[in-house]
Amino acid sequence: MEPSEMPLDGVNETVRYLLQEVMGSGRSVTLDRFYTPVSRAQEPAAERLTVVGTVNNNRGLPPAELTNPQNREPGSSMFR
């Protein structure tokens, strides 16, 4: 099916469609903040795909362990 014929329902369907060719390849994909709600970023992990991107608080809050700075060294980073 040609891309112009695909019925895409919003951002999640568009991203899923675009990632189809690289699913299972073990690659990393960098997404703009508009395309990386937490639920979207976790799904590809099951398909051997790593998603890197900015997560905004208004698009599916990040887990508390990432937003709570207590018990972390100043200047440290945490990834999930």
Distance CA 52, CA 47 (A): 15
Residue 4 counted as domain residue: no
Question: How many domains is the chain built from?
Answer: 1
Determine how many CB atoms are found less than 10 A away from the CB of residue 40: 20
Shortest CA distance to 60 belongs to which of 43, 78, 73?
Answer: 43
Residue 49 counted as domain residue: yes
Residue 16 counted as domain residue: yes
Residue 50 counted as domain residue: yes
- Give pLDDT tens digits for 9-48: 777 778 888 888 888 888 888 888 776 665 555 666 667 8
Structural domain that includes position 33: 10-21+28-56
Shortest CA distance to 11 belongs to which of 49, 39, 48?
Answer: 39
Average pLDDT, the chain: 73
